[in-house]
Amino acid sequence: MADLRTNFAGITSPNPFWLASAPPTDKEYNVRRAFEAGWGGVVWKTLGEDPPVVNLSSRYGALAFGGQRLMGLNNIELISDRPLATNIAEIKRVKRDFPDRALIVSLMVPCEEHRWKAILPLIEETGADGIELNFGCPHGMSERNMGSAVGQVPEYVEMVTRWCKQNTRMPVIVKLTPNVTNILMPARAARRGGADAVSLINTIQSVIGVDLDAMAPMPVVGGKGTHGGYCGPAIKPVALRMIGEIARDSEMVGTPISGMGGISNWHDAAEFLAMGSNALQVCTAAMHYGFRIVEDMIDGLSNWMDTKGYATLPDLSGRAVSRFVPWNQLNMNFRTLAHIDQKSCVGCGLCHIACEDTSHQAIAKQTGPKGRQYSVIDDECVGCNLCAHVCPVDNCITMVPQPVESEMTWLEHPANTHRLNA
């Protein structure tokens, strides 16, 4: 059976599945139940200075798509609204009772060195395994010059990270905001500041929708709304791309990555690991299905690793990174052709409509033994994959790679006037 034990920046846990800093990790009661369910670690909901912030009553907005609830979740909740001393006491008790689990404390205070120096010893005394600097929150706290207001400025990221490294023995994880043009800028700044690891992605600045009766963004608070942080399965593609960018960057080599952003099952977890994550954080899926979801994640990942021959997490982590390349390094001679399996085709015509109206008119409509029948016009097919994606029947339309005599990237292509050896 695959060994899921995790060593992340010196922080050990029995498996890579940690709960992210969010409502599920807001208090001792939740965290105890999470550990009893099997989670390998938690990042305690972000702590700040006293007096604690004030959270609103209406906090969440949700996006459903194709019959799936919570495809995306938007929240306008802030950091912990419980007294700092209460959180400190609870963290100490939980870590005492679950010494084998990773317990990280998320922190956010104003960008003044003395304020960071004041809170760090309080966290150390709890016995926590590390701290995560919340440079990602895109609402409420950012208007107070914290959260993403820090994470969007590399100089601030480096400065605060360095303060923390100079004033604590604990590993320092920097949580990055996706609300930037280039994720490498704050990531490299965290590395320059001495960060032991980075975690990403935090939530994406968003408006989930508009209540057309109240004529206000959702969730509606007393007739008004605001932007919030977007998370859930819908942000997974953004997370994978940003994690891959960091994992393949020469300046970030060796920096552990805690990946998050839409992990809902073991398959998602395997993808995040393959793209360079060394540990994982989950939030929305736990809020949707409860803490017991981790059992399926652990079993599913372990069983899949067994079938693929990956004995440990390091065997899997980063396996896809070398194949994540810039567009100009792809083989331009590569070609696929669509193939329709007539036995499984239900004759819905979605492939024909999509190709005829919006693509390359490469699917012919005919009359066959079953009535309507569709076939691919090979000479017109460019292998774009659209027909396979719109087809409602699994594996009815497959993309068949064609023989390739040689490889040619854009760097050598005759159409590139700046090609190598031109």
Report pLDDT digits (tens) over 223-242.
Answer: 998 998 889 999 999 999 99
Residue 292 CA: distances (Å) to CA of 40, 287, 298: 13, 11, 11
Tell the burial category of 270 from Cβ atoms under 10 Å away from its Cβ (0-12, 13-18, 19+): buried
E-only strand ranges, 216-370: 216-217, 228-231, 257-259, 279-282, 336-340, 363-368
Given a cut of 60, whether residue 190 has pLDDT beyond it is yes
Q: Which of 76, 21, 19, 11 is nearest to 48 (CA)?
A: 21
Q: Is 154 helix (H, G, I), strand (E, B) or coil?
A: helix
* 143: pLDDT strictly greater than 80: no
**Per-residue pLDDT at 422 exceeds 80:** no
Give the range among 159-173, 186-200, 357-371 with minimum mean pLDDT: 357-371
Q: Between the CA of residue 210 and those of 33, 61, 153, 295, what are the distances in Å?
A: 36, 10, 31, 37
Q: Which residues are catalytic?
A: 137
pLDDT at 148 over 90: no
3-state secondary structure of 119: helix
Amino acid at 26: D
